[in-house]
Amino acid sequence: MKIALRVNGVLHEVDVEPRKLLVHVLRELGYKSVRVGCDTATCGACTVLMDGRPVKSCNVLAVQVDGAEIYTADYSDEVMEKLRGAFKRHHAAQCGFCTSGMLTTAYYLVRRGVKSEEEVVEGLSGVLCRCTGYQNIINAVKEVAGL
């Protein structure tokens, strides 16, 4: 099936098998920051923004995103750059494998105007990190969210 999707502002037209997952299409298009860490939509390393909302791209068929606007962790704007700066200062990334999912989720939380630490924690709880113990990630997101 032919679909069109916009990724980080760039339009892509691709011919995909109906069973193909969005995460695989994005990776084949070169968006390698979208990572595969599980088979059960648990780890969140593949989280991208689809029409403004975070989705686990392993849980979305590529054909479902025809016409959609996708943002990945490669995206750059003021909020994403602030998040990058805060992640670096707070040492919020270690191995980096979950970091893309953390950044896209954090971007959504900040844009949505997250109000409290509890909301940050709950918002990030869909992305697993095995390295950091989470505190530095939570602190980085809080800083950018002005909490």
Partner 1 sequence: MKYVGRPIPRVEDELILRGKATYVDDVELPGMLYAGFVRSPYAHARVLKVDFSDVLKTPGVVAAFGPGDGEPFSFAPGGKVRYQGEAVAMVVARDRYVLYDALEKVAVDYEPLPAVLDINDALRPDAPLVDESLGNNVVHDKVYEGGDPDRALKEADVVVEGRFVVQRIIPSAMEPRGVVAAYDGDVLTIWSSTQVPFDVRKEVAKALGLPLSRLRATQPFVGGAFGSKLLVYPEEVWVATAAYRLKAPVKWVATRGEDFKATTHGRALTLEYKVGASRDGRILAVTGTVYADAGAYYWGEGLADTAAQMLPGPYDIRHGRLRAVAVLTNKTPLSAYRGAGRPEATLFIERIMDHMADVLGMDRVEIRRRNLIRQLPYRNVFGITYDTGDYPTAFERGLERLGYRDLKRWADEEAKRGRIIGVGFSVYVEITTFGYETAVLRAERDGSFTLYTALTPHGQGLATALAQVVADELEVPMESIKVYWGDTAYIGDGIGTMGSRSITAGGSAAVLAARRLKQELARAAEALLGCRPEYREGVFQCGGRSVSIAEVVKAVYRGKAEAQLTVEAIYHTEPTFPFGVHLAVVELDPETGFVKPLLYKSYDDVGVVVNPLLAAGQVMGGALQGIAQALYEEAIYDEAGNLVTSNLAFYYVPTAAEAPRYEVYFAEEPHPSKHPTGTKGVGEAATIASTPAVIMAVEDAMRRLKPGVRIDKTPITPEDVWRLLR
Q: Which residues bind partner 1 (CB under 8 A)?
A: 17, 19-20, 24, 27, 31-33, 35-43, 45, 72-74, 84, 87-89, 91, 93-100, 103, 121-122, 124-138
Cα atoms found within 13 Å of the Cα of residue 29, Cβ hemisphere only: 25
Nearer to partner 1, 55 or 105 (CB): 105
42 or 64: CB nearest partner 1: 42
Supply the minimum distance, in Å, between the C-beta of residue 144 and partner 1: 13
Q: How far is the CB of 91 from partner 1 (least distance, A)?
A: 5
Beta carbon of residue 5, minimum distance to partner 1 (angstroms, whole number): 18
* Beta carbons within 8 Å of 60's beta carbon, 6+ residues apart: 21, 22, 23, 50
Do 23 and 46 touch, CB atoms closer than 8 A?
Answer: yes
- Cβ proximity to partner 1: between 35 and 50 the closer is 35
Q: Are 12 and 79 in contact (CB under 8 A)?
A: no
Tell me the residue length of the chain: 147
